[in-house]
Amino acid sequence: MKIADVHAPEAPIKSTSNPGVDLAWLAERVEYGLYQDCVHCGLCTASCPTYVMTGDENDSPRGRIYLMRAVVDGRAQASEKVRNHLGLCLDCRACESACPSGVQYGKLIEPFKVALELSAKGNEKPPILLRLMLKHLFPYANRMKLALIPARIGKATGLLNLLESTGLIHLLPKTLQRMQAMLPTKMPLFPPKDLASKLSPVGPRRAKVALFTGCVTEAMTPETNQATARVLQHNGCEVDVVHGQVCCGAVSYHSGDEMSAKSFMRQNLKAFDPSKYDAIIMNAAGCGAMLKDYAHLMHHDPEAEQAKAFTAKVKDISEFLVTLGPVKPKNRIDIQATYHDACHLCHGQQIRNQPRQLLGMIDGLELKPLEETEICCGAAGTYNLTQPEMSHKLGQRKAEFIESTGATMVATGNIGCQLQIQKHLHDRGNHSDVVHPVQLLDQAYGPIPNRNS
């Protein structure tokens, strides 16, 4: 089916054939007017990573809206081709930033992808090992920490390097090979100790915040959470690491498991009392976008009002610090760095200048401009596991642009981007560090003063 074959009517038409997806389920979650907001002007196409790579109109935002609406209207089925075009979408939401009509593309593609997963059969589903990990491993930080023990030992002893050099790594299932390739290059044998539940501010208290530690960040790069807490302390924040918090729900929701996602959401609403805090702080762009979407995703649930109150307090670390008024760090860092805009930070949350403003406070740090900084690097949550070919192309494209800056360090505000960019730089023989901006700020602020001294 070509886009040119699809003519969108003014109102939905009930399908008399099998649409291949539960239209009633979709109707409860997507207002039909959201499809109609798209005027098909095409201004989104230049910002869409998959359209930039394929040149196929069906892989553009307006093309995918045509396809989704055609299925809903009963003019097309959710065939294998339609599923492939929609499944190739990274959900980066760059089209939302480019759209002059204010199309809320994320509110269309996200539930539609869930509906496709719910109706998937046989080879339409991801490999069973990946499905098991998406449901039972990735959303649980403690389980991931245990699962990463062999990786930490392998990194520390050089065993993983030996497996790679001898080719024995290829004996692993493809899913595990891809996961191994995404491991941080620097993984100490023993990760840092867990953060205390309460951390005191440096100097007079300016705010009281709760830190959302996440699952993948806490397991893969716990040093990011440690740095975030210290930076907040240096800026006069009392920090609570709330007991009972769980995964934001993004991994489950984007893999089609809405029930598990809602369960995680409810657990987080129970754990966090937003009335106690000036803000609930996030450092992972993907999780932040999900947490800020609780009010929308739960607007029909009994917890709708609670979700609104929660969402109102969720802030990215850079967003919060700039609003608070950041304390200038004293230490100098002489380095040339570049900054990659994580999609769910710049497009999902419209946060662009704040991270750059914070990095600009560090004496000696020169921030080099990055071409296509707002084009997705190909991480997109678990996209590098479910769509490895397109993910690889986008990762290599991003690495090329990063190398052209001449920078020796990359900063980005999302764990997925960190791992993806690091992998593709490493593949090209480039061993530049890829860090979260708070890690540079933490270095510039220095250690927390010893209160006994």
DSSP 335-380: EEEEEE--HHHHTSS---HHHHHHHTTSTTEEEE--TTTTS--S-T
- For the chain, the maximum distance between any two Cα atoms, rounded to a whole number of angstroms, is 77
- Which pLDDT score is estimated for 3? 47
- Which pLDDT score is estimated for 386? 86
Bridge-based pairing of strands 198-199 and 409-412 is: unpaired
Query: Taking the CB of residue 412, how many other CB atoms lie within 10 A of it?
Result: 28
282, 414 Cβ separation under 8 angstroms: no
User: What is the CB-side half-sphere exposure of residue 193 using CA atoms within 13 A?
Assistant: 3
**Contacts of residue 423, Cβ cutoff 8 Å, sequence gap at least 6:** 181, 182, 395
- Which pLDDT score is estimated for 11? 43
4 phi/psi in degrees, rounded to 5: -60, -20
- Which pLDDT score is estimated for 15? 46
Buried b (16+ CB within 10 A) or exposed e, 15-54: beeebbbebeebeebbeeebbebbeeeeebbebbbbbbbb
> DSSP H helical segments within 272-352, as ranges?
285-291, 294-297, 304-313, 317-324, 343-346
Q: Could you give the angle at the alpha carbon of 186 between the alpha carbons of 181 and 189, nearest 5°? A: 105
> All domains of the chain, ordered by start, with CATH?
14-124 (1.10.1060.10), 331-445 (3.40.50.1860)
25, 115 Cβ separation under 8 angstroms: yes
- Which pLDDT score is estimated for 17? 64
* Residue labelled with tokens 């008024």: 325
The separation between CA 337 and the C-alpha centre of its own chain, rounded to angstroms, equals 22
For the chain of 453 residues, list the mean pLDDT of each consecutive stretch of 10: 42 57 91 93 94 94 95 92 93 94 93 89 80 90 92 87 83 81 82 93 97 94 96 98 96 88 97 97 96 94 96 98 97 97 95 97 97 94 88 96 97 95 94 96 94 51
Q: Measuring CA to CA, how many Å separate 238 from each of 229, 277, 310, 350?
A: 9, 10, 19, 27
- Which pLDDT score is estimated for 128? 85
Give the integer Cα–Cα distance in Å for 294 and 306. Answer: 9
Q: Which two tokens stand for residue 139?
A: 């959303």
225, 195 Cβ separation under 8 angstroms: yes
